[in-house]
Structure 1
Amino acid sequence: MARLVTFLGSINVGGNRIKMVDLVTALTDAGFRDVSTVAASGNVILTDDRDPSMLEIQLESVVEQTFGFKSCAMVRTQDEIRYAIDENPFHGTGPRYGSDKMVHSIFLSQQPDKSAVDALIEEHRSKGSERLALGDRVLFLDYVHGVGVSSLSNKVLERRLGCKGTARNMISLKRILDKMVA
């Protein structure tokens, strides 16, 4: 049985409020094992041996049926979380707020077309100071001045890359990895 993390998108942003205890209960009632959360933003750690793509569908369904809104679920292994930290070229280099607060790994539902990523990077060069790079089913992004002031919103990224995604900063990812290996 593998320890996995699920990143649920759209949790506790906008009107999509969920208490983590209620999320744990809903997932446990749906048959998931060893369910715990990290922070109040839809980071769920669980133990499972099923195919991650099937788990994503099941997790999305539980959230929609129980809480009444759509969420995307990205299931990743410990190694994939470690990769999202270690291979992020901006990790430890951000100029603001202790560097890692603005540096994100955006977990993607599929590998985007490299030409779409290259076009986004080229177009954005003249529009903002954010830095972007592509990994394996992850987009590395340094928001530099903050997510709230960036034109690279999740909706823009999803539209441009042709896939869903949900972001976590380096500080959160390190906490999640620590809890996964504990």
Structure 2
Amino acid sequence: MKKASKDSVSGSGRKFCAFLRGVNVKGTNMKMAEVCAVFEKAGMKDVSSVLASGNILFSSEKEEEELKRILEKSMSEHFSYEAFLFVKSQQEIETIFRETPFEANAEYHIYIFVGVEGIAKILMTEFEKSRKASGEEAQLMGRNFYWKISKGNTLDSEFGKILGRKKLKDSFTSRNLNTFEKVLKKL
């Protein structure tokens, strides 16, 4: 029998956040209450959302990979689009947030990327090849990729344009540091 992890919830399972990619951008519009209902129908417990960008908190006894398959299938069927999401446990989210290498700064966005195994190294390679904006930085910490870019330059930077490539769309999603903090406070 497994020991309860420090991120377990009595009776409901472990706590997770599913980070959905491409929600409420480029015509993929959905209400978070409806997304939460899809998660509940798929068997998730204690479902709630954080912001309208597709951060869904829930509890489950299942493992991350199985949750990813179940939830992507449920979302794809319900909303008639190809859903991509990345599931992280409460413990993983705490670690990702704690390891953030950049200090919060009102003039910069700090993005944290979650995705498939190995994507952080691919993103770092692409970042290293790209022309940098003033003050733009990136770092790998463990298996995670972090990017700092001055406000107003996210989509105009060379690296920002690389992030929009279709071949990468099912490999990762990103959230800013503030979103991660809000997710952690609600978990």
State the TM-score bracket (shorter-chain normalisation): 0.7 to 0.9
Q: Which residue does 1:65 correspond to in 2?
A: 77
**Where in structure 1 are there 5+ consecutive unaligned residues?**
none
TM-score normalised by structure 2 residue count = 0.81
Q: Give the CA deviation at 1:95.
A: 5.6
Equivalent residue runs for 1:60-99 within 5 Å: 60-92=72-104, 94=105, 96=107, 99=108
Report the CA distance shift for 1:14/1:113 in structure 2 as closer, same or farther (over 3 A): closer
> Equivalent residue of 1:155, what SS?
coil
Q: Aligned-pair distance for 1:17?
A: 0.3
Match for residue 128 of structure 1 among 133, 142, 155: 133
Distance 1:13 1:137, change over 3 A: farther
The answer for the alignment partner of 1:104 in structure 2 is 111
Match of 1:178 in 2: 185
Give structure 2 stretches of 5+ with no counterpart: 1-12
TM superposition outliers: structure 1 runs of 4+ over 3 Å: 116-119, 156-159
1:122 Cα offset (Å): 2.8
Question: Match for 1:164: what amino acid?
Answer: S
The alignment's TM-score, normalised by the length of structure 1, stands at 0.83
User: Is the Cα–Cα contact under 8 Å of residues 2 and 49 in structure 1 kept in the other structure?
Assistant: yes
SS of structure 2 residue aligned to 1:15: coil
What percent of counterpart residues are identical? Answer: 25
Letter in 2 for 1:42: G
- Kindly provide the CA deviation profile for residues 68-113 of structure 1, in whole angstroms up to 9, marking residues without a partner as x: 1122111111222122222111132x460xx4xx101011211247
Deviation per residue, 1:33-79 (Å, 9 max, x gap): 11110011110000012110111111111111000112211111122
CA displacement at 1:163 relative to structure 2: 6.8
SS at match of 1:89: coil
3-state SS of 1:57 partner: helix
Deviations 1:125-164 (A, max 9, x none): x3434211123442101122342222323334964xx971
Q: Give 3-state SS (helix, strand or coil) of 2:151's partner.
A: coil
- Secondary structure class of the residue paired with 2:23: coil
Alpha-carbon separation, structure 1, partners of 2:23 and 2:173: 10
